[in-house]
């Protein structure tokens, strides 16, 4: 890579969408974004059932409305978080201060690790509620594929968010090295 640590040599330069799209953390963030759409979309579309004998709809996960609400809330909030950090990824090369870059990367580490944890909790919760669901509540197996998809993509999201956090740790180490190098060799820090 040209210049300093993780784009520091290009700070203030023109936006390059090709470089942005090729970066692993951007790819993982887009994949996480798609996974969150699948989770909340499948629960919203087919996660609630109507019973012929009852007038109200109920959650497919063991008739537990909290399970559906958690899946939808985590999915929607992860969707919005991905959009926020994709915007930060676009803006990141424009940040000229190494200290500000470090703050952005530290927030990325914390948020990504937090979302990996939330997806782990969501996977365990949805899988447990699906396991204890009674077949008599859904005799026609309506929405079962969507329920399984939400569980599966919750599981996959654990890994995408964990990898995003790991890549952010690597970015942080690169920025820390750049800051130390700039302090030790101020004349040769920027070409």
Per-residue pLDDT of the chain (191 residues; tens, 9 = 90+): 444 444 444 555 667 888 889 999 999 999 999 999 999 999 999 888 887 677 788 888 988 999 999 999 999 999 999 999 999 999 888 888 878 888 999 999 999 999 999 999 999 999 999 998 887 777 677 778 899 999 999 999 999 999 999 999 998 888 777 666 666 666 655 55
Structural domains of the chain, with CATH: 22-176 (1.20.140)
Instruction: Quote the pTM value.
Output: 0.83
- Rounded Cα–Cα distance for residues 11 and 3 (Å): 9
Neighbours of 27 (CB within 10 A): 15
């Amino acid at each position: 890579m040209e210049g300093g640590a993780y784009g520091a040599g290009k700070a203030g330069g023109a936006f390059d969408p090709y470089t942005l799209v090729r970066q692993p953390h951007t790819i993982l963030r887009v994949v996480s974004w798609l996974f969150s759409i699948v989770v909340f979309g499948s629960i919203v579309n087919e996660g609630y059932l109507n019973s012929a004998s009852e007038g109200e709809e109920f959650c497919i996960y063991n008739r537990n409305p909290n399970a559906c609400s958690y899946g939808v809330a985590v999915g929607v909030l992860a969707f919005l978080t991905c959009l926020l950090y994709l915007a930060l990824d676009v803006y990141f090369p424009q940040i000229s201060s190494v200290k500000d870059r470090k703050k952005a990367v530290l927030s990325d580490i914390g948020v990504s690790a937090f979302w990996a944890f939330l997806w782990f909790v969501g996977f365990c919760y949805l899988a447990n509620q699906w396991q204890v669901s009674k077949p008599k509540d859904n005799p026609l197996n309506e929405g079962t594929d969507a329920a399984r998809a939400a569980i599966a993509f919750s599981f996959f999201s654990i890994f995408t968010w964990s990898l995003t956090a790991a890549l952010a740790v690597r970015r942080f180490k690169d920025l820390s090295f750049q800051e130390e190098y700039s302090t030790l060799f101020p004349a040769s820090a920027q070409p």
